[in-house]
Structure 1
Amino acid sequence: MSVNAFVPPFTPANADPTRLPCLTVEWADLVTLDLSKFDQPGGKEALAQQLFHAIQAIGFFYVINFGLTQEEVDQQFAIGKSLFALPLEEKLKYRADLENGGYNGYKPLGISEIQPGIYDNIELYNIPKFTPLYASQPHPPLITSHLPQISHFSRQIHTAVVHKLLTLFAIILELPEDTFTSKHRYAEPSGCHLRYMTYHRRTPAENAALDSVWLPGHTDFGSLTLLFRQPVAALQVRSPGGASGGEWKWVRPYEGSITVNIADALEFLSNGFLKSSVHRVVAPQADQADADRLGVLYFVRPEDEVELKPVGGSPVLERLGYYRGKEKTGGEEKTGVTGSEWVKARIRAGVLQKKGEGLDDEILKRENIA
């Protein structure tokens, strides 16, 4: 085993459970799905009904009892924390090809200049699915020495959580239960990936210049995003509000849960019924301002060749007026946009326009100066 393989035990930032409820913020009222009920008699139907009512208000929810222990979750946080502690020169050996729509591997801190002299504070590392297609993806020794644990974690999320949620959406739309799972098979090529991500703390001056918004309002471009969180309050979701856009509400870090949000691909596949939620990341409250925000995420994306057009045959979409013309039967014409094309286009659009060999040198220079 590599000398880099050891990772210290993970201790969450601000782990005192009495602190978060005392924050003076307005929490979003989100439903909690207990996935242990899924295989019980009538359990899927009850969960689908619960989820149906929840997504009418907002496309965020929690899941609990998802088949992974807290120790297994904490191990992933420990790996992520140790990964980001590696020297920048080492991490840059595994840099993702962001400029060409690639996303697996390392994304350095500070690629995008948000305002003059202020750069993005996001550092992340993406690991693709554990299938032969992605077996050649290089990783730092710290990651390769933990691939069995990471693989188990990734597969468990996809098979025991994602497939259950996609089944519930099919039940909600009164469609065959495999309608969405058949478009998100683990063994098939897709952009699904596990992510370690850190939002690095900012100075008071930077927060003032940015109005405390670290990542502006946006939607995710896959099907679902699953987020394991530290008890650091920084995530906000925008509630429905017509032309005004609604108001921002905080999403509580809920111990023992996964925070889930619906993303663009499911909105396309349901012709707008499943809403891709607008959310953002802001500076934590004053008593958590000194904490870096480390997260472990799983991004669910449709298979590369899936066309992002509405599924046909849903009595619910027909009753509620979400079908137009041939969409009722799933549509006969091609949309021209596949899951893979959509992801690559969105990634390219979000990358800093300044490209070239000097970019990473510039980041190294800033880091050394700092």
Structure 2
Amino acid sequence: MAITTQVPVVPPYTPAPPTNADLDYADLPIIDLSKAATTEGRNGLVKQVTDAMTNQGFFYVVNHGYTPEQTKRIFDIANVPFEHVSESEKQAYTGTMETSGSFQGYKPRQYFHIDNGIRDQLEQYNINRDVTKRGHPQALRPLLPELEAFAKHNHFHVLHPILKLLAIGLELPEETLVNIHRYDATAETYARFAKYYPRSPEEEEKTKNVWLKGHTDIGTVTLLYSQPVASLQILTPEGKWKYARHIDNALLVNIGDAMEFLSGGFYRATIHRVIQPPPDQQSYTRLGAFYFAMSDDDIKLAPLAQSPVLQRVGIKRRFEDDKAPTMEQWRKSRTSAYGRSQLTKRGAVEEEVVSGVLVTHYN
């Protein structure tokens, strides 16, 4: 007789219906990750991934190992920390981003400054891949085995294959980047669940409909589980904002600052933002599920100058090699400053200097 394992009952989350708006979507490549299981398959995908990461900075992944049912379960779980935890308990598990440089725990609404005195309506819950690293609200505790499995799936079955493709694209041994993203190392790689709530017309007007200003991610690789609310926009190399299209049960992948540093500017950390969705979705919340990867804390984010590709095309340095921050220094300084520091406005952009590096935000 087969033994079935009972999973905790979680109230189902109902996503918004797809928009009918006629939007200007970015043309992003779709990578079949199942092909990365063999050396031959990886070699066949490298050009696609390299082209995407040197041009658009984003691509989709399909056949990533999760069924539509498993992905739906993750979104059901993602909704729990927002809808099934009391406000007082949320306060008890609020993160210490500004003082510790760690996003673990809740990021409450109205923590980030957007524009003209208006703050965000984005709530987040961040879980280190080591789910025992800090405590969790009561409603999440029965779900920790599934959250750990989610982290391990993303790390070993999605992130590592992508890292191999990025290393091959630099003509480095395929384990080069995998070896600095160890699951058991000290690092801040984490799963993030995020929920955007609708705002008032006055807030939309004062922020020009921007919910999260244009930015690059802090770490190496970001995995976003595609969801239907059309709000994410990517800044193209031509300087135009285009929407990311929703694809059922696909992941949207982009690289962050740390990978741009390691690749000597060969791979692009693309600027992206979140704006108010089109009218037929404006009454819905936007729920997101992510896996944010960072290299091991002790890794120095200097270019991998041994890459034959970088030796041919040259290195775009953001700092001198001897002044390169470690992953720990970079993520702590950017996390503590993000959405809180005083920015210098220069026309359409806002700037700050973090660990000696000029960081640009687009509002």
**Shorter-chain TM-score tier:** 0.7 to 0.9
Matched, 1:182 2:170: no
Shift of 1:70: 1.8
What corresponds to 1:96 in structure 2? Answer: 95
Distance 2:263 2:234 in 1: 21
Equivalent residue for 1:12?
15
- Equivalent positions of 1:233-272 (< 5 A) are 233-241=230-238, 246-272=239-265
Q: Residue 113 of structure 2 contacts residue 339 of structure 2 at CA under 8 Å; is this kept in 1?
A: no
Q: Which residue of 2 aligns with 1:231?
A: 228
Q: Against the structure 1 CA distance between its residues 353 and 342, is the aligned structure 2 distance closer, same or farther, given a 3 Å change threshold?
A: closer
* Residues 1:166 and 1:198: Cα distance change in structure 2 (over 3 Å): same
Deviation at 1:33, TM superposition (A): 0.6
* Counterpart amino acid of residue 264 in structure 1: D
**Matched letter for residue 95 of structure 1:** T
Identical-residue share of aligned pairs (%)? 39
- The 3 A distance-change label for structure 1 pair 29 and 347 is same
1-structure distance, mates of 2:76, 2:256: 27
Counterpart code for 1:265: A
2:111 corresponds to which residue? 111
Q: 1:296 Cα deviation (Å)? A: 0.4
Equivalent-residue separation in structure 2 for 1:224 and 1:41 (angstroms): 21
**Distance in structure 2 (CA, Å) of the matches to 1:74 and 1:83:** 16
Q: Offset at 1:127?
A: 0.4
- Aligned partner letter, 1:60: F
Matches within 5 A, 1:186-197: 186-197=183-194
The residue number in structure 2 matching 1:367 is none
- 8 Å Cα contact 1:307/1:334 also seen in 2: no
Normalising by structure 2, we get a TM-score of: 0.87
Task: Label 1:346 to 1:323 Cα distance change in 2 as closer, same or farther (>3 A).
Answer: closer
Shift of 1:61: 0.5
1:205 aligns with 2:214: no
Taking only aligned residues, the RMSD between alpha carbons, in angstroms, comes to 2.0
Match of 2:287 among 294, 314, 332: 294
Question: How is 1:1-370 mapped onto 2 (pairs within 5 angstroms)?
Answer: 6-14=9-17, 19-20=18-19, 22-40=20-38, 42-85=40-83, 86-100=85-99, 101-115=101-115, 118-130=118-130, 135-241=132-238, 246-322=239-315, 334-352=322-340
Quote the Cα distance in structure 1 between the aligned partners of 2:110 and 2:139: 23
Provide the secondary structure at the position in 2 that maps to 1:158. helix
Is the 1:229–1:294 Cα contact (8 Å) retained in structure 2? Answer: no
Partners of 1:129 and 1:335 in 2: CA distance:
29
Tell me how far apart the structure 2 counterparts of residues 230 and 37 of structure 1 sit (CA, whole Å).
24
Q: What secondary structure does 1:297 align onto?
A: strand
Q: Distance in 2 between matches of 1:23 and 1:267?
A: 34
* Per-residue deviation, 1:353: 6.2
Contact 1:238 1:279 in 2 (8 A): yes
On the 8 A contact 2:98/2:337 being kept in 1, the answer is: no
**SS of alignment partner, residue 157 of structure 2:** helix
CA distance in structure 1 between the partners assigned to 2:259 and 2:194 by the alignment: 24
After superposition, the Cα gap between the structure-2 partners of 1:41 and 1:25, relative to the gap in structure 1 and judged at 3 Å, is same
**Following the alignment from structure 1 to structure 2, what is the Cα–Cα distance between the partners of residues 27 and 254?**
12
Letter in 1 for 2:172: L
**Contiguous gaps of at least 5 residues in structure 1:** 355-370
Q: Does the C-alpha gap of structure 1 residues 236 and 353 become closer, same or farther in structure 2, counting only changes over 3 Å?
A: closer
Structure 2 gaps of 5+ residues are 1-7, 343-363
Match of 2:352? Answer: none
CA distance in 2, matches of 1:94, 1:182: 32
Maintained 8 Å contact 2:216/2:269: yes
Q: Distance in 1 between matches of 2:117 and 2:268?
A: 36
Q: 2-side partners of 1:266 and 1:187: how far apart?
A: 20
CA distance in 2, matches of 1:175, 1:229: 30
Structure 1 residues 247 and 116, CA gap change in structure 2 (3 angstroms): closer
Q: Which moved more, 1:338-347 or 1:73-82?
A: 73-82
